[in-house]
Amino acid sequence: MQCNRLLNLSKQWYLHVRDETMAPARMVQFIKQHVTGCPICLEDPDIQDEILRITEIILPESKIPKAVRLKQEEEEAEREREKAAAEAEENNSTETEESSEEEFIEEDEEDPLPSEE
């Protein structure tokens, strides 16, 4: 955050939120209102990411806007799919190694040729 005024205001607002004299959603609203009218904040390239991070910290899950919640759930689901795909790939490579070992063992265990007497 490049704007010292927003930093000080955010600290004051957070104290109110912590003391339960201000709603967390109201704090986020005040931050967004400040950003739209502040030339320093408008030039800050990271301000939207910082607002999002603050929102995630102070707003309970049920109060986060539905669109943001859905995006977070989609990202989490994608990570789970990637993890499952990696585990499946690892299991497939392990099974392939085990099956080739089993085939090798089966070939060795054939009955011996009958001996001529």
pLDDT in tens, 4-36: 999 999 999 999 988 989 998 899 999 999 999
pTM of the model: 0.52
Tokens standing for 31? 């931050």
How many percent of the chain have pLDDT more than 90?
35
pLDDT at 73: 80
Q: What is the mean pLDDT of the chain?
A: 80
pLDDT at 70: 72
pLDDT at 27: 92
Choose between 109 and 75: higher pLDDT. 75
pLDDT digits (tens, 9 = 90+) for 67-84: 666 777 888 888 889 888
Helix pair 24-37, 47-58: axis angle to 10 deg = 170
Helix pair 47-58, 4-18: axis angle to 10 deg = 10
pLDDT at 112: 59
pLDDT level of residue 117 (50, 70, 90 thresholds): low
Domain ranges of the chain: 1-63, 65-98
N- to C-terminal Cα separation, the chain: 94
